[in-house]
Amino acid sequence: MSQNNTPTPHIGAKYGEIAPFVIMAGDPLRAKFMADHYLENPVLFNNVRSMLGFTGTYKGKPVSVMGHGMGIPSIAIYTYELFHFYGVKSIVRIGSAGACHPDLKIGDLVLAMGACTDSNYASQYQLPGTFAPIADYDLLTKAVNTCKELNYRYMVGNVLSSDTFYSDTPQTEKWMKMGVLAIEMEAAALYMNAARSGNKAMALFTISDHILTGDATTSEERQTTFTKMMDVALSLL
């Protein structure tokens, strides 16, 4: 433990300042937007590397919201520390994703039942085969029910957590053949960290662009208008 009594060098909170249920977004400003617009009495617990994190309540229930950065190495560090050093029991990732299924439209939600990946992250476990990172069933079921109740357009299935945003050899069509709905960059590591620590995790996404049609949203729209997934995430408390 560091001299300022914080468990890790990447998160400035003391133990107990982070709720057992954490909602995470790649963009720390999305976490701030969520704290400002949804949480009651939010308190900043982290500003290390500008990776903003806040703890407050939602309808009286404690919850924290925090950024996790881009890519598997970044989310892997933050979620590992939350699970292992801060007593967090459930993490829900909310993010944007690129659709690769013809039935998805901009603004639709994707609930990641599983997360394929081209990352080497699972090699650290030295498993004698291929690990299948999956969401917590209870969280996934609650998310589906909320989407139905609120009449939000959604699909459930596999996503691809890719290590490359600008690929020299794109492989999208091969993943599409296997039924992958959308591409993002973090869920697989979140699911692996949850499995290894015996905790719960789920990832859900708003479609921000479509690989097949070329449709896309702006960075400002992604930061401030993707609120349906926030509604769903908070319903899981």
> How do residues 118-149 score in pLDDT, each as one tens digit?
999 999 999 999 999 999 999 999 999 999 99
Alpha carbon distance 18, 33 (integer Å): 18
Report domain extents, the chain.
Answer: 21-235
User: For domain 21-235, is the CATH number 1.10.486.10?
Assistant: no
Alpha carbon distance 68, 139 (integer Å): 20
Q: Where are the beta strands (DSSP E) in the chain?
A: 21-25, 40-46, 53-58, 61-67, 90-99, 109-117, 154-161, 182-184, 200-210
Contact 196, 84 (CB under 8 A): no
**pLDDT tens readout for residues 11-52:** 999 999 999 999 999 999 999 999 999 999 999 999 999 999
**pLDDT tens readout for residues 75-115:** 999 999 999 999 999 999 999 999 999 999 999 999 999 99
Quote the pTM value.
Answer: 0.96
Alpha carbon distance 146, 126 (integer Å): 37
Active-site residues, by number, are 209
pLDDT-based confidence at residue 2 (cuts at 50, 70, 90): very low
